[in-house]
Every structure is written in C-alpha cells, then in structure tokens.
Structure 1
Amino acid sequence: MRKLIYGMNLTLDGYIAAAGDDIGWSGPPSHELFQWWLDHERASGLSLYGRKLWEEMSSYWPTGDQQPDATPAEIEFARNWRDTPKVVFSSTIDKVDWNTRLVTGDAIAEITRLKAGDGGPMTIGGATLAGAAMRAGLIDEYVIATHPVLVGGGTPFFTALDGWVNLNLVETRTFPGGVVLTRYETRR
C-alpha cells in the first residue's frame, strides 16, 4: 500500500493562503527550505493536485528551469516536477499537460485505488482535495512548514473533521527566517 503525504507551507495561524488566495506572505523560501521540499518531491512517486494548486504550479514550473535567475535547486525542481507523474482532480478544467492525468469523477475512490497500488509515496496538495482525503482517513503523513506570520483568515491547511486523528511526531527542523518544519505520521 502506498503512503499518502499532505504537506504545504502555512502561516502560524494555520492558513496556506490569506484572503483572496494571496500566498505572498511566504516570500521566497530559504535555500535550505527549498532544498528540503525538492528532496521531499524527489521521493514522491506520484503527485495529486486540486485545481487551484495545479493552476499555480503549472503556471511556473514547466519552464522554471529556463528562468535567467533560476538556482540549481530550482532547475532540478522544475525538471523533477515535469518528470513526476501527476493526477489533477477537477470538474472545471478539461486539459492537463506535463506527465499529468485528469480525474473528473470521485476523487476519494480514485485516491483509495491509487493508495492500494504499488509504487512510491504519493503527495497530495490543495486544501479542498486534501481536506476530502483527511475526512476519508486517507492521509498517512502531514508535513507542515510553519512560517512566522499571522494573516487572520484565508484557506486553512486543516479541514473540519468528524473525529480526532491521533498523530506521532517524526521530525522537527528549523530553517532560516524562523520557519519550523514538523512531520507527523497518522497513528493507525
């Protein structure tokens, strides 16, 4: 069975985006944090995206390695992003590119099917998609890069749940700029 990992950058008050889908609060990540995310993405065998995150990622990373000021890590991230198989869950878009498959039907049924298969860990991103996977009990690990900023509202990282989810802390790490990364595994 494949592991499903939900990880994103978020504010200290728990938002992945401020009001109006504003992600400017995070600023550019430190080289160390960016490298950590690159290594995390390299370990993934499949990336699952909701529509909004897909649109954000696909607006930059297909050519991110061709930007004149791209760092070696950004070049590698762009290449890895293009090469990694991806699934986008959306009923409002009709075309995806860059080693990506579109699913317009039941996301939970498809994620359950993918988890039951062979392969490396899967990452999931996008609050709505990940929230549905959380409520269905499908998330095996949470990766939280908490930035020292409060935005007061927006898109929360966590969704309302029907019951408690007990977790085990497996890693903590501090990055420049006061970013604290924590990883938790779901206790089954």
Structure 2
Amino acid sequence: MRKLTYGMNVTLDGYIAAAGDDIAWGVPSDELFQWWLDQEKATGLSLYGRRLWETLSSYWPTFDQQPNATPAEVEFARNWRDTPKVVFSSTIDKADWNTRLFSGDAIAEIARLKAEDGGPMSVGGATLAGAAMRAGLIDEYVLATHPVLVGGGTPFSPALDGWVNLDLVETRTFPGGVVLTRYETRRRA
C-alpha cells in the first residue's frame, strides 16, 4: 500500500493562504526549499486539486529556463514536470506535463491509487486534501509553520467529523523561525 502525505507551508494561525489566496508570507529559505525539493523527489505520484494545479502549472513548467533561477529551483521545475500527477477536476479538460485528469469520485480514486504498488504519494490543494483527510486516507501530515498570523484565509484542515490522533515523528527549525513538524496518523490496531 502506498503512503499518502499532505504537506504545506502554514501560518501560525493555521492557514495555507491568507485572504485572496495570498501566499507571500510563505517564501521559504534556501534550506527549507531544499527540504521540500527532497520530499518532492521522493514522491512517486502527486495528487492535485484544480486550484493548486492551476497555480503550479502556471509557474513551474518553464521556471528552469528563467535566467535568475537557482540550481534548486531548476531541479524543482524539472522534477515537477517529470513526476506523474493526477489532477482532480470536472472543470478543466487538458493538463500537460505528465498529468492525468480525473473527474469522478476523488475519494474512490485516491483509495484505489493507495492500494497500488508504487512510491509514496502526496496530496495538495485544500479541498482535495480536506476530502482525503475526512475519509481517513492521509498517512502523514507535514507542516512548515511560518511565524506569521494572517487572521483568515484557506485553512490547512477542514472541519472534521471526529478526532485524528497523530504521532510526532520529526521537528526541525529552519531560518526565519520556520518550524517543520511531521506527524504520522495513528492507526488503530
């Protein structure tokens, strides 16, 4: 069974984007960017909701051609293009860069993909990740908490029907006061 991870930069008050989808507060240090790159390189399949897909696909496919791109950004752009992706959307009809569109039951498809052999998967996009969270499909949560309060926006976690018990597996501090925490979902035996 494949492992499913949900990881995001997050504000201290729990938002992945401030009002108006503003993520300017979350610019990672070089060290944190490299950490995220290493995680992306270890991912066998990326699952995206439409909004996150549109954001990433407008930026990363050609970023390695920018004259000011750092070596890590070049590597991230190339890895992003090469990594297999599934975009869950019923409103777009085309996706490039090693991407498959899926417009059916997202939870059933994520469960099917988890049951396959293969490398770890990541899920991104608040709506899609929230649905996977409510369905109990996420195995690991990664939060890179930035020392900023934004007062509202898109929360990391949706309202849940019940508790999800987690075990802390890693903490790490990055430049700028960012604290990374990784948690595994505690499964009942």
Q: TM-score range by the shorter chain?
A: over 0.9
CA distance in 2, matches of 1:66, 1:143: 30
Describe the superposition over 1:95-117 as per-residue Cα deviations: whole angstroms up to 9, x where unpaired.
10000000011100100000000
- Quote the residue 1:35 is aligned against: 34
Pairwise CA distance, 1:23: 1.0
CA distance in 2, matches of 1:103, 1:162: 26
CA distance in 1, matches of 2:6, 2:59: 21
CA distance in 1, matches of 2:163, 2:91: 32
CA distance in 2, matches of 1:180, 1:50: 26
- Quote the residue 1:109 is aligned against: 108
What amino acid does structure 2 have at the position aligned with 1:185?
A: E
- Quote the residue 2:131 is aligned against: 132
CA distance in 2, matches of 1:48, 1:67: 26
What RMSD over aligned residues (CA atoms) do the two structures have, in Å?
0.5
Pairwise CA distance, 1:15: 0.3
Within-5 A mapping of 1:27-176: 28-176=27-175
CA distance in 1, matches of 2:28, 2:65: 19
- Quote the residue 1:11 is aligned against: 11
CA distance in 2, matches of 1:21, 1:92: 20
Q: Alignment partner of 1:17: what SS?
A: strand
What amino acid does structure 1 have at the position aligned with 2:130?
A: G
CA distance in 2, matches of 1:81, 1:184: 24
Pairwise CA distance, 1:145: 0.3
Aligned residues: 187
CA distance in 2, matches of 1:57, 1:87: 13
List alignment gaps of at least 5 residues for structure 2: none
Q: Alignment partner of 2:144: what SS?
A: strand
Pairwise CA distance, 1:29: 1.2
Moved over 2 A (4+): none
Task: Provide the TM-score with structure 1 as the length reference.
Answer: 0.98
CA distance in 2, matches of 1:91, 1:15: 26
CA distance in 2, matches of 1:25, 1:36: 18
